[in-house]
A = this chain, B = another copy of it.
């Protein structure tokens, strides 16, 4: 899986902690975790295309959350970064070569693909059931000072 997913998740949480009142540039978000600025910018663009964050150009511009964390799921972020394609894409090799399935088995979906899709659906269901607000709650319980440290750093930057 693309590692940009982790960057995007933490960036969303950071944006929420900073507050929705002001936009944050990709450079500052990147600096906070020592990430390559331009590449994180690329991921944030993907989030913007997905409607998870909004981007404003010009001075005092940057990114901010498009909606509260309660309405953003892990699935949203993963889909925004990874794309909508399924991980297991059936190439239908059973239809190639002499082994092409006979007796009207072509139209019906491949039994393997079906089971893999079912498993992937369970994965997506879990991701869709977990909002970033849930994660924020757990993170604040574990590292109580993280939020304040972050706000202080972004104000003094």
Interface residues of A (CB under 8 A from B): 1, 3, 5-7, 9-10, 13-14, 31-35, 74, 87-91, 93-94, 96-99, 101-105, 108, 111-112, 114-116, 118-120, 122-123, 125-127, 130, 134-136, 138-139, 142-146, 149-150, 153
Contacts and interface: CB of A to CB of B under 8 A. Distances in A.
A136 to B, nearest CB: 8
Chain multiplicity (copies) = 2
A1 to B, nearest CB: 4
B146 A93 contact: no
**Interface of A (DSSP majority class):** helix
Contacts of A144: 103
B74 A143 contact: no
A32 to B, nearest CB: 4
A101 B6 contact: no
19 contacts: A6-B88, A9-B112, A10-B94, A33-B96, A34-B96, A35-B96, A74-B112, A87-B87, A98-B153, A99-B149, A99-B150, A101-B143, A102-B143, A103-B146, A112-B135, A115-B127, A115-B135, A118-B130, A119-B130
A111 B126 contact: no
Given A98-B153, A145-B102, A93 B7 contact: yes
B87 A1 contact: yes
B108 A142 contact: yes
Given A111-B138, A114-B138, A130-B115, A145 B103 contact: yes
Given A111-B142, A145-B103, A146-B102, A126 B134 contact: no
